[in-house]
Structure 1
Amino acid sequence: MTAVQGTDVDIATADGVADAYLAHPADGLPHPGVLFYQDAFGIRPHLKAMADRLAGEGYTVLVPNVFYRHGRTPVFDLPEFIDPSADPTIWQQIMPVMMSLTPELTDRDSAAYLDWLAQSPLVADGPVAITGYCMGARLAMRTAAAFPDRVAAAGGFHGGRMVTEDADSPHLLAGRVTAELYFGFADQDQSMTEEQIRTFQEALDTAGVRNTCEIYRGADHGYTQADTPAYSAEASERHWEALLGLLKRTF
């Protein structure tokens, strides 16, 4: 692990300014870029620690506040340990904000995030990779589909609602993806059943997408998030092994 520097940055978008966290090796040299998509709880100490760990492996990691239209980080007033079952008002805060982030807004924002990475002297030339968590897995899939020439790999972990009845369901985007994909699903996740996982992988396979879809047995939705009850140390370390393997194959 190399020494890491973390800073807050602002990203100009078509609709305003998105605040973000940037983590990168402290050598000041350009490194492969990784766009890191948050879960619903947003940028907070745990997410920054994850970005720092990834940067320590030799990557420049950008974590945008995808809810920037609703305010700068922290968008929500959350406790250090986030347990929605103990405080249902947490989801009352978050759900309307999540629902307001439409696919159209996501694509517009992701263009700005990719432009920022392309222009940063801390990012090596060429396509970037993406990693996303919970809702961030859907964002990763959308961005890989919207910008196939700019995304070389994408990982999604404990992603839900990757297969829906909607016309904009993430699995329907498979034909536009050229990146290698890795998805680690939780078998205790009611937002992504094993039948939906099969449908998702079939869509990727049919489209000829290089992919690995795995089911983490005994894991809950949110298994990488150490500041929530869903956290599993074993599943989280498995995710790190998979993500770093994907990145090493890519760069």
Structure 2
Amino acid sequence: MPTINDVITTPDGTCQVTLSTPDGDASSGPWPGVVMYPDAGGVRQTFVDMAERLAALGYAVLVPDVYYRDAGWEPFDMATVFSDQGERKRLFGMIANVTPEIMARDAAAFFDYLESRPEVRGSTFGTTGYCMGGRTSLIVAGRLPERVAAAMSFHGGGLASNDDDSPHLLADAIRATVYVGGATDDGSFTPEQAKTLDEALTAAGVEHEIETYDAAHGFAVPDNGPYDEAASERHWQAMERVFGANLR
């Protein structure tokens, strides 16, 4: 898939992004836009590859460097980051800096960028994300509801927590169709939390689907230790179905 590197100016600086579009003549576009939010490990080649696969289904897919405020940050080794105490501390420090307010501010810039691109059609978009990015996807849908038509989350954590900024508390604002693919035995998104999220979205009249995959947290991302090919293929089918129904 054609992929370009670009820079988006946000209220807080400049964010490196990639934009992947389908193969073939540009005359076959423009295409619906999707923002793909990486997991806690941040943007890396795995997510460029994933964006290109999604683009092949007929989308213009933006992958942002959500840690751009930490200029020059060193990539994490996903095989050791959680067992290396120094790297784990660095990772969680960077995660903490990406607040819901920052997520929404950045998303507005990402959507403006997509809307300005000749490859992209429409003024509403899809969001999808993994782990930390899955939470971001739902927060953005709740904080910028007029710009998100479909929001997807895969092995996302903190979707229905006791925190004041938990995504489930935004249910009344969400206009998007929501899909959540949770992991088995995931302490960051338990069956009780899935029930809380379901109840909040149902009460708000949000079209949604919450499923638990028979796989561990990290199942959809190929460079994660718990990657599960069967579960990952299921997640691709879910994206094709949900985005196909809501963005085309």
Give the TM-score normalised by the residue count of structure 2.
0.94
Distance (Å, rounded) in 2 between the aligned partners of 1:237 and 1:105: 31
1:76 pairs with 2:74: yes
Say yes or no: does 1:155 pair with 2:176.
no
Q: Which residue of 2 aligns with 1:146?
A: 143
**Contact 1:83–1:229 (8 Å) recurs in 2:** no
Deviation at residue 76 of structure 1 after TM alignment: 2.8
Distance 1:93 1:85, change over 3 A: closer
SS state of the match for residue 34, structure 1?
A: strand
The answer to whether the 8 A contact 1:134-1:222 is kept is yes
From 201, 205, 219, the equivalent of 1:204 is 201
**How far does residue 30 in structure 1 lie from its aligned partner after superposition?**
1.2
CA deviation profile, 1:179-235 (whole Å, cap 9, x unmatched): 101000001211111111111111111111000000112x11111111121101111
Partner of 1:169: 166
- Counterpart of 2:93 in structure 1: which amino acid? P
Paired residues of 1:35 and 1:62 also in contact (CA < 8 A): yes
Partner Cα distance (1:10, 1:84) in 2: 27
- Separation in 1, partners of 2:231, 2:86: 28
In structure 1, the partner of 2:176 is 179
Q: Which residue of 2 aligns with 1:56?
A: 56
Gaps of 5+ in 2: none
Which residue matches 2:245?
249
Identity of aligned residues (%): 40
CA RMSD, Structure 1 to Structure 2 (Å):
1.3
* Structure 1 counterpart of 2:67: 67
The 1:85/1:14 distance shift into structure 2, 3 A limit, reads closer
Q: How does 1:84-163 map to 2 (within 5 A)?
A: 84-163=81-160
Map of 2:222 onto structure 1:
226
Q: The residue matched to 2:123 in structure 1 has which SS?
A: coil
Gaps of 5+ in 1: none
Instruction: Give the deviation of 1:103 after TM superposition.
Output: 1.3
One-letter identity of the residue aligned with 2:55: A
**TM-score normalized with structure 1 length:** 0.93
Work out the CA distance in 1 between the residues paired with 2:76 and 2:38. Answer: 15
Q: Does 1:13 align with 2:7?
A: no
The number of equivalent residue pairs is: 244
Give the aligned partner of residue 41 of structure 1. 41
Q: Which amino acid aligns with 1:188?
A: D
User: How far did 1:86 drift?
Assistant: 4.5
Amino acid at match of 2:56: G
User: 1:85, CA displacement in angstroms?
Assistant: 4.7
| Whole-angstrom distance in 2 between the partners of 1:77 and 1:141 | 25
